Chain A
């Protein structure tokens, strides 16, 4: 019961935060909608990174700190290879590279550390992340590279009749959202319809059961890390097309941690929804709440979106440690 009160109060707070700007007239409905959309778009990118993390966590219990580095590595590979070949070929080749990365990580990192504590594995992936950042930049260079998806960057004005001032929509944002949706649908298909996918689900549910039906755990890890690598590739391409492929991509991915905490470590829908909540939450907070804070406390500028996600996740943790969609954790003696 206590749990529910916590959840409800968090929900009410979030909703109140959502409605407050409208109610207080801090922005016009049109502008409000734009902020909402902006948040959703940022959220899509978080979701994509978090998705990779959840896939790996579900199958191997490893929190992959290196997902951000994988996004950067994949994006760098595609961007640099696309200079010499068509984009689709580069993307395909990129997928091959990510599978290779998965195999190497499984052989050199996961296999020797099997059955280790979660925190040890976390730190190992931190090592992987550093290695990949350095390796990627050594191989591919450290400039800003661009990935051209061939979508116009100029925004379009829509719904001018409905809202005063209309709403600006970016085609590449819409494309990003579509790609993300498509990816999730493909993953769902993969998990529901293919035998490998079903095997993966079995592992997620019960490691021993999976082993007893004869699926080698090593292979499963390779597959899962490959899938996560492909997800990273898609995230990297979407992100890279929007903001350019550059070292900093790897750092923004830190935000995926609060996202999976919010959504639950083992829930794919949780990763998506968690990402969207964080994305919307931090943009709303930055645009509507930060100016108020700045005025009240005479701060040197806003920027609360830097910590908003983490603090939100922290507060959420205190009322519901398993996340929105995660499984309840029981400590056994």
Chain B
């Protein structure tokens, strides 16, 4: 008898599931509200959650700030929805499909914070006419707007990062020519993200005669004993760390355990946040990382966020985490998306805009020092200016060092060497265009 009831319940549950699936299928038609919809693809769970959470909080908080402080973007209210990706590509694609049609005008712009998901969405975005902003990650060759019309790696790519690191250690050695005979090890996350800088480093290695050791670390990156034993065996002069999530802190711990000096370790900008160093405790002291925009700390925009968002109990995270490295990066990413919309509103009017209209805005972004100051981001980013050919807009970065308590950013600004990177970008983009049979845009004719 009991079993029979159980079965009935089960059957009912199964029926309900199927019915509900059918119900969600026919998405309700949205009234033409004055709203701009922002899809968010965070990862608040899984091995990368420690890094995904602050970024997602920063991004969401900025959108909340714009609504609370300015009443939206020129009167168009921002709505947003999160869809957890767990840093997994297939989940990311599902989330993209789920969110791309939401809101009165569809999704404004996607920022997946995952190079793997970016690769997948790069194929889909042109069909759906939605731009992708990948500030500081994604495909390095997508700088080329003639091929990658919908991608915007604003502010920096991994080729810039790798190039700047080589320049920096060259300078430390007393000139790039002094790198001859040196050994540089790349300890990288074994995914498109970690592999992205390799072509540039190989090119630089050939140019300057240093030896490049490639040491991949498998997802999620908690097993690095063997990697660091190899570091100990070969004693490279520098270690470049291209890690993400738990991999970074593990790398630092293993470096401590194998006695590799942290002063000779340089992380990419995704390996230089608080969750990366704090688990390693004092062992992380002396470790360096790049920071391209948004160093840690608080400025005008943070004051606004605390006032308009957190003091009203609307904050996405904890109050004391506002101002962390990755939080700030989320903030800047959110801001650039909003500025893209603002720019597009100049051309298309102050109404909810479609993805392809926002794309134009992102391609014609011009944030100079004055504009940045007005937004309250002074000291958190460099000026940025995009064009049809250059979807990146800024090629500079700084070096920060962990002193055991906080990140100290050195004042020098480094610029990547476009002489070296540009041909690489052109070559790679051309290969992509040929593979996918994409027509190349002519920027002189096609401004919109």
Contacts and interface: CB of A to CB of B under 8 A. Distances in A.
B175 interface: no
Interface residues of A, number: 41
Nearest to B248: A144
A303 interface: yes
Interface string B254-293: 0011110000000000000001000111110000000000
Interface in B179-209: 190, 195
Interface string A235-247: 0000000111011
A243 to B, nearest CB: 6
Given A144-B279, A302-B216, A287 B246 contact: no
B226 A287 contact: yes
Contact of A154 (B229, B256, B275): B256
B258 A168 contact: yes
Nearest to A294: B214
Interface string A14-28: 000000000000010
B115 interface: no
Contacts of B233: 27, 31, 287
A252 interface: yes
B260 to A, nearest CB: 10
Nearest to A304: B226
B74 interface: no
B447 to A, nearest CB: 40
- Residue from B215, B216, B222, B226 whose CB has the most chain A CB atoms within 10 Å: B226
B281 A247 contact: no
Given A153-B257, A155-B257, A246-B246, A34 B275 contact: no
A303 B47 contact: no
Q: Is the interface of B mostly helix, strand, loop or mixed?
A: helix
Interface in B238-259: 246, 249-250, 253, 256-259
B223 interface: yes
B50 A300 contact: no
A291 B216 CA distance: 12
B230 interface: yes
B300 interface: no
A62 B253 CA distance: 36
Interface string B11-55: 000000000000000000000000000000000111101100100
Given A244-B250, A305-B223, A142 B44 contact: yes
A170 interface: yes
B314 interface: no
A295 to B, nearest CB: 12
B281 to A, nearest CB: 7
Interface in A288-324: 290-291, 300-303, 305-306
Contacts of B46: 142, 247
Given A142-B45, A248-B246, A153 B225 contact: no
A244 B246 contact: yes
Contacts of A142: 44-46, 49-50, 53
A290 B229 CA distance: 13
A139 to B, nearest CB: 14
Interface string A136-165: 010000111010000001110100000000
A136 to B, nearest CB: 12
A283 interface: yes
Interface string B59-84: 00000000000000000000000000
A283 B275 contact: no
Contacts of A38: 225-226, 229
B190 A303 contact: yes
Given A155-B257, A168-B259, A248 B44 contact: no
Contacts of B232: 31, 34, 168
A154 to B, nearest CB: 7
Contacts of A155: 256-259
B279 A301 contact: no
A251 B222 CA distance: 10
Contacts of A252: 222-223
B220 interface: yes
Contacts of A251: 47, 220
Interface of A: 27, 31, 34-35, 38-39, 41-42, 137, 142-144, 146, 153-155, 157, 168, 170, 173, 242-244, 246-249, 251-252, 282-283, 286-287, 290-291, 300-303, 305-306
Q: Which 5 residue pairs are nearest across A and B when measured between Cβ atoms?
A: A286-B226, A301-B216, A244-B279, A248-B220, A142-B49
Interface of B: 44-47, 49-50, 53, 190, 195, 214-218, 220-223, 225-227, 229-230, 232-233, 246, 249-250, 253, 256-259, 275, 279-283
25 contacts: A38-B229, A142-B49, A143-B50, A143-B53, A143-B275, A144-B246, A144-B249, A146-B279, A146-B281, A153-B280, A155-B257, A155-B258, A157-B259, A168-B257, A244-B253, A247-B45, A247-B49, A248-B220, A282-B226, A283-B229, A286-B226, A286-B230, A300-B214, A301-B214, A303-B217
